[in-house]
């Protein structure tokens, strides 16, 4: 089922999402709904708070970029309870980001290039991987959502000031995008 995307301003995006256990109610359905919702809105990653659920669940599919980055072919991940460790030798790199919860806003964000991620798959088997490049960026963006952080939080005060009008419009529900959304005030 395609769910509405919760927009900037909704408190669910500003709440820490806890780890879950295998008996989390409706987990399979949640993951299926997150996939359907992400594909319907042309996203490449989605975190559970974006569909209104504060649980540590993420879905990522960056295979669409495999033309530019061949290593991303088949890069689809269901991440349960992901936790990221930034690697010490990490260099920072700046690249434009957007977010389904912030329609119409695209800004360069500086992030560490290389991470270690620990997560469980859908069967709750543990995994640990070192990831670099574009996928590492997407993983950091999505895991930020689980820690109540949005990509605009990484911007300089000046950049944030420049998009203030757009942010206020999103809070007011004044957005135009071609997927279903749920704002805080409408
Ligand atoms: Ni996002």
Higher pLDDT, 186 or 51: 51
The mean pLDDT value for 133-158 works out to 97
Residues 6+ apart with CB under 8 A from 98: 105, 106, 151
Distance CA 160, CA 36 (A): 31
| Cβ neighbours, 10 Å, residue 138 | 23
- Judge whether 116 and 85 are in contact, CB under 8 Å: yes
Kindly report, residue by residue over 1-46, the tens digit of the pLDDT.
999 999 999 999 999 999 999 999 999 999 999 999 999 999 999 9
Secondary structure of residue 65 in the 3-state scheme? helix
pLDDT at 185: 66
Mean of all residue pLDDT scores within the chain: 94
pLDDT at 20: 98
How does residue 86 score in pLDDT terms, banded at 50, 70 and 90? confident
Q: What distance in angstroms lies between residue 88's CA and the mean position of ligand 1's atoms? A: 25
How does residue 68 score in pLDDT terms, banded at 50, 70 and 90? confident
Percent of the chain topping pLDDT 70: 98
Q: What distance in angstroms lies between residue 99's CA and the mean position of ligand 1's atoms? A: 4
pLDDT at 186: 52
Q: What distance in angstroms lies between residue 103's CA and the mean position of ligand 1's atoms? A: 10
The verdict on whether 142 is a catalytic residue reads yes
Higher pLDDT, 185 or 92: 92
Q: What distance in angstroms lies between residue 130's CA and the mean position of ligand 1's atoms? A: 21
The mean pLDDT value for 167-176 works out to 92
The mean pLDDT value for 99-112 works out to 97
């Amino acid at each position: 089922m395609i769910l509405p995307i919760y927009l900037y301003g909704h408190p669910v995006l500003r709440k820490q999402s806890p780890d879950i256990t295998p008996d989390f109610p409706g987990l399979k359905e949640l993951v299926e709904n997150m996939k359907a919702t992400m594909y319907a809105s042309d996203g490449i990653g989605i975190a559970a708070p974006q569909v209104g659920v504060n649980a540590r669940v993420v879905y990522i599919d960056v295979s669409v970029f495999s033309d530019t980055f061949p290593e991303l072919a088949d890069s689809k991940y269901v991440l349960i309870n992901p936790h990221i460790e930034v690697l010490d030798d990490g260099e920072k790199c700046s690249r434009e980001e957007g977010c389904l919860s912030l329609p119409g806003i695209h800004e360069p964000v500086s992030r560490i290039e290389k991470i270690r991620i620990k997560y469980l798959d859908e069967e709750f088997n543990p995994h640990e991987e070192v990831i670099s490049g574009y996928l590492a960026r997407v993983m950091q963006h999505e895991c930020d959502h689980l820690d109540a952080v949005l990509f605009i939080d990484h911007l300089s005060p000046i950049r944030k000031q420049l998009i203030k009008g757009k942010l206020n419009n999103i809070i007011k529900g004044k957005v135009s995008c071609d997927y279903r959304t749920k704002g805080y005030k409408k």
